[in-house]
Structure 1
Amino acid sequence: MKASSYRLGLICLLLYVLLIGAACAAESDEEDEDEITFRDFSLNIGDRIDLDDYQMELIEIQSLRDGLVVMRVSRVGGSLDEQRALLLDSPNNFDGGAEKGGVTITITDIFDEQSARVRLEYEQKLGTPRKRASDRPAAMPEKPELLVQKSFDRNEMHVGDEVKVTITIRNTGTGTANDIDVQDIPPLPEFTYIAGYPPKIKETLDSGQSDSAVYILNAAREGSVQIPAVVVSYADSKKNSKSNSSEPFSIIIRPKSKADLVINVEDTPPLVLDEEGLLNISISNQGSASATRIEATGEVSPSDGLEIKGLDKSFFEIPPGDAANFSASISGHKRGIYTIRLKVSYDDGDGSVIREATSRAVVLKREYKYQYLLVIIPIIIVSAWIYRRHREYKY
């Protein structure tokens, strides 16, 4: 009997231990199911996460600048349906959050205007979350993109030249650019600003639109000048700030462009009294700018004995590399050597300039044919007389 009672007690003890172990295991399994876990998902707009009867959909990237993403969280049956703007790195609880059997959603990264990384926290008992890609066609993102160009109408100029500067802004993106602000640097010391500065551009440009601004400069100091970039700032429809800039470039300002007139007066062959001749004159511009208001005047020394007609001339302009040619008629009334002095005044682009040139004219006394006879006839007479006397003495 005692042995039988002992065995019965041992069996009861074993059964008690087994029951206690099973209860502890059940409690441990229940605690595991209540444990909170998380998973990260990369979602595009329209994608959603399904967990048990929860559905969490990415609606839009509201602001890249402010880090705002809109998500819709709902439950099958309609007990929850909420659309909320979530701030980057800020946990958001739905149905009390993961700690109370609901879900907690955190935006951990925003890739661009179409996608973001989402962290989902939940109790393990809710099951395994699954990503559902959107079956809707992806909408074209409204993403403005401004291209900026700054150009001079020439990259080489002279001091005193005017140059036209053009700034062009073109929206090559897919959305409207708002609050456009062009930031051109303050006036460069190598230029004086004549008109149109600072440049003004439309504040709003739709996709495909462009706008330009033009201003005028005057080159004031010679040298190589580095033209810095123009920066344009703007915002998209969600107030996200953006900016772009033009490419810097160099221009060269050379010394002031001036006209340089060279006068060439051809010497005339000797003239006899009252004979007419031509004095050919050429005024050529060997400078880099047009000569204007050209006045040519001449004088003769000595002033009496040589007459010149057509020496005084005026020309409106002689371009660089060009020349003005003309002739003056001369006639001598008194034998001698005369000096012809030509004076040319003009505007070289920087002020009034005078150039001079000289030429020589010789007037000879007229020679008549009978003057030669007056010398020859006496010689013939003397020669005949000598010949005659020679024959008389011979006989």
Structure 2
Amino acid sequence: MDFEFGVEDEAFRHEAREWLAAHPAPGGDPRGWERELGAAGWIGLGWGDASYGSRRASLTQQVVWGEEYARAGAPARLGHIGENLLAPTLLAHGTPEQCARFLPGIARGGTLWCQGYSEPGAGSDLAGVRTRAVRDGGDRYRISGQKIWTSLARDADWCFVLARTEEGSRRHRGLSFLLVPMDQPGRIDVRPIRQMSGTSEFNEVYFDGAVAHARDLVGGEGDGWRVAMALLALERGVSTLVQQIGFAAELEQVVRTAVDRHAHRDPVLADRLVSQWAALRVMRWNALRTLGRTDDPGAPSVAKLLWAGWHRRLGELAMAVRGAEATGGPGPWTDAYELDDQQRMFLFSRADTIYGGSDEIQRTIIAERVLGLPREAKKEESR
């Protein structure tokens, strides 16, 4: 296969690289940065519809933009969830009115979104959702329940919520996909979750009679499972390739540390370093091979298994290269929880094989949907 980019892609790369060099992100103003990206037309490249304020770009050009963005060391995006998850879902399953209402705000960088999927008892097993949305007799739903591990909930203006709208329904039946405004004091409570890495980008979100309008129901009542699964299938391809730019930078840092400390002379550590480099190349080729394919139900699961295990092993390798020193802080003992980049990577990567669908769930998907093995019996089916 030809894994090279074309002439037009390289011209697009030059344009992206020049713009990023001329527009450094404003420190401490992530919302301002989103608006600057939107004003230049860099949001919504993959939508395929320029009528909402985004420019058209091919699939490979989307990869090019993502790679250059990562190479430039630009800040993590606040608008990722709205741009790359919700917008394509609305284009595929929403109404023209919903697209016209929500997509321009995302394209301008003015509207931020979060994802209300996981719950304390329904993480990898999303069909166990208990959050309820009850029609109040008019054109509104009242939502009650709890979501967890909600990224960027403190910054979001809106949340797309998977909730149970049919009384007594079970598993994937009776679920609906609702767009919910977050500015509802007293009805929505966002509580940050402090992790062992010291960061708190994840949150718990409590809904206590929060309001969602019927016009903001996507796909029809009871059709939430289909819409939710279509959205999850978007987490592949372009985002995986862009993610690998960051992985390559982390691996380079670990290799540099190994050389500085002469740890690469240890044959076991040297073998692990080479294995990580080779596995990263394989991940890139696999992502390019499956880029844009919609006929492979196992591709997202394979990609998740590859990168999650790879990144977790890199965190372990980073600590092994540094030895006992890796267990200490950067200076004298203080009450502050101070970690360097590699220590944070190690601690955060412990969760890589769990969040976004655990390894066990991914293997089950591959077994059942790709290999055709017998389906795993659910607890309620075995009673």
TM-score by length of 2: 0.22
Higher helix share: 2
* Structure ranking higher on relative contact order (CA contacts 8 Å, 6+ apart): 2
Structure number with bigger Rg: 1
Higher strand share: 1
TM-score by length of 1: 0.21
